[in-house]
Structure 1
Amino acid sequence: MKLLQFYEKQDEKRKPRIGVLGEGNIVRPLRTDGTMRPFIARLSEVELSELELATWVEEAEGWPLEEVVLLSPLTDPEKIICIGLNYHDHVIESGMKVPSVPVLFPKYSNCIAAHEQSIAIPAEVTQCDYEVELAVVIGKEAKRVSREEAMDYVFGYTVLNDVSARDIQLNEPQWTRGKTIDGFAPIGPWIVTADELPHPGSLAIKLRLNGKLMQNSNTKELIFDIPYLISFLSNTMTLKPGDVISTGTPPGVGMGQKPQVWLKPGDVVEAEIEGIGVLRNTFVAEALN
């Protein structure tokens, strides 16, 4: 299933709803209130394969995908945990050492942006970079789980663009400020449930900048794979339904280009992962009062 958050373009109140993308790219709303996070928690009480989705779908309504506005499929996760330096070639292009344990940093809800949402580059940022990443959505509470059982805690997968202000990130002792600027974590366009992606460790992953292919790899190149990351993280923190683990970016980031390539107003970035889809955003100059 492809689950999404949206509002219908003709809805003046812009009430967020949860829906499923069906055949013919028809968005069907589900009979549920609230955001995706509590919905995922609710689903954690049942086996998704046993869920009769038809009982949740509102029979009388449905819109073509082009008639709705997509929100990020997760607008209020408790945690967004990002993994740095998790592809060998990206470590090399970054001029750093291969880590012996995962490199972690957070993003917060202020960073979240949706598919097709414009992202503002702050006036003081001169080195704005892109990073396509496979994001894992946790489906049920996980504490001290083993590698062998880790995948049982995955609800689904989505695309995250770990937008980074390199001139801030790499000139401060911690990466956090350069990674947590408003809008610097577009997520989407939807969540693909785990049953539809049984082999997340072997997915093509790529990013295009203004139509030019910049990143092109496969998740099989991850240094620390998904089961390891879930087990590693759950040993020290309780993972909750709706939490996001963004698994790192492959080589080809702007910082690694020769000459370096930085995002500028008007640039269109398309982050794509096999079996999920394309997350597209346009970058704009920050509007100053």
Structure 2
Amino acid sequence: MRFVRFKTPDGHPALGARVGDEVVNLTELGLPGTLDELLRHGAAGMASAKAALEKATTRLPLSSVQLMAPLHHPHKAFAIGLNYIDHAHEGNFTPPTQPVLFHRYPTSWVPHGVAIERPKASVEFDYEGEIVAIIGKGGKYISKENALDHVAGYSLFNDGSIRDFQFRSSQWMWGKNFDRSGGFGPEFITADELPPGVVGLDIVTRLNGQVMQKANTRDMIFDVATLVAACSEGMELHPGDMIITGTPAGVGFARKPPVFMKAGDVCEVEVEGMGILSNPVIDEA
């Protein structure tokens, strides 16, 4: 299934199932109002969503609703650095032998279609197209062999980065968490609709229609199962936790000359079988 979180035409938030260019309002049919809550119900929650979808008699045009970020407020959003070899090389980093983790906070992203903001403090606003793995079943010390059983599904992310702040120290958190600097969405896709671990999917980032990043998820240094297992070693994972899995080569700061996002640009992240996350760019007010 493909879930969207949205505002109805009268402004009420709801959880929906996308079917083509239409949306079934699952919340109106008695299901939770957020994906976060639905995931906490586990397999029973997904079964109830499928049953509601089959019985639904009315649908809304997708064009009539305002999309929100797929998750309301995840406990944790891990982000993974340097997870494609070519990206590590273009930044003059040694490819890591263990996953490089940092954190993103919900205030740092906006939904599909909403503008991401270049902050007043910098002109080095970079793009990073990525896939998000979303946890459905929690746990700690999860084995790599069982890790994909804990992944409920996937979404898309633009890990917008303020490069001069990011590289002020060896800790990247600051440059990765400016308000409204990243994009998340447009929808949550259950794992059964995609290849296991999303292996073998083409990932492309475009800036104003020009291809800037182009790779395949098989080029990840650490696959999704490895990342789930690694994140669970130090923290118990909960339903709705996010793992933003890393970006391929082609980022703006590594180009000669560098290419950074500016007001009036449109950045798109597209992954085979997962759709397109699109965000215009504006300057911070």
Q: Structure 2: which amino acid aligns with 1:40?
A: L
| Aligned position for 2:210 | 212
- Tell me if 1:17 matches 2:8: no
Distance 2:54 2:110 in 1: 26
Distance 1:144 1:271 in 2: 32
| Aligned position for 2:2 | 2
Q: 1:42-96: per-residue Cα shift (whole Å, max 9, x none)? A: 1x14385x55613357734311111111101112111110000000000010111
| Aligned position for 1:159 | 156
- Tell me if 1:39 matches 2:64: no
Distance 1:32 1:197 in 2: 24
Q: Structure 1: which amino acid aligns with 2:199?
A: G
| Aligned position for 1:247 | 245
8 Å contact from structure 1 (residues 137, 242) kept in 2: yes
Aligned with residue 258 of structure 2, among 257, 260, 279:
260
Secondary structure in 2 matching 1:149:
helix
Q: 1:233-284: per-residue Cα shift (whole Å, max 9, x none)? A: 1111111100100110000010121111011101100001111110000110
Secondary structure in 2 matching 1:202:
coil
Distance 2:116 2:54 in 1: 33
1:230 CA displacement? 0.7
Secondary structure in 1 matching 2:123:
coil
Distance 2:139 2:53 in 1: 26
8 Å contact from structure 1 (residues 28, 57) kept in 2: no
| Aligned position for 1:175 | 172
Across the aligned residues of Structure 1 and Structure 2, the Cα RMSD in angstroms comes to 1.5
Q: Structure 2: which amino acid aligns with 1:100?
A: T
8 Å contact from structure 1 (residues 41, 241) kept in 2: yes
Q: Structure 2: which amino acid aligns with 1:41?
A: R
Distance 2:58 2:206 in 1: 35
Distance 1:140 1:28 in 2: 25
Secondary structure in 1 matching 2:44:
coil
Distance 1:149 1:99 in 2: 23
Aligned positions of 1:1-289 closer than 5 A: 1-8=1-8, 10-11=9-10, 14-22=11-19, 24-30=20-26, 31-42=30-41, 44-46=42-44, 48=46, 53-55=50-52, 59-199=56-196, 200-287=198-285
1:145 CA displacement? 1.2
Question: What is the TM-score normalised by the length of structure 1?
Answer: 0.93
Q: 1:106-150: per-residue Cα shift (whole Å, max 9, x none)? A: 001111210000112111111000000011000011211111110
More helix by percentage: 2
Distance 2:267 2:55 in 1: 34
Q: Structure 2: which amino acid aligns with 1:178?
A: G
* Compared CA separation, residues 16 and 51, structure 1 to 2 (3 A): closer
- In the comparison of the two structures, how many residue pairs are matched? 281
1:7 CA displacement? 1.2
8 Å contact from structure 1 (residues 147, 231) kept in 2: yes
8 Å contact from structure 2 (residues 156, 185) kept in 1: yes
Secondary structure in 2 matching 1:181:
coil
8 Å contact from structure 1 (residues 135, 247) kept in 2: yes
Secondary structure in 2 matching 1:148:
helix
* Compared CA separation, residues 52 and 102, structure 1 to 2 (3 A): closer
* Compared CA separation, residues 147 and 93, structure 1 to 2 (3 A): same
Question: What is the TM-score normalised by the length of structure 2?
Answer: 0.95
Q: Which runs of 5+ in 1 are unaligned?
A: none
Secondary structure in 2 matching 1:235:
helix
Runs of 4+ in 1 over 3 A off after TM superposition: 45-48
Q: Which runs of 5+ in 2 are unaligned?
A: none
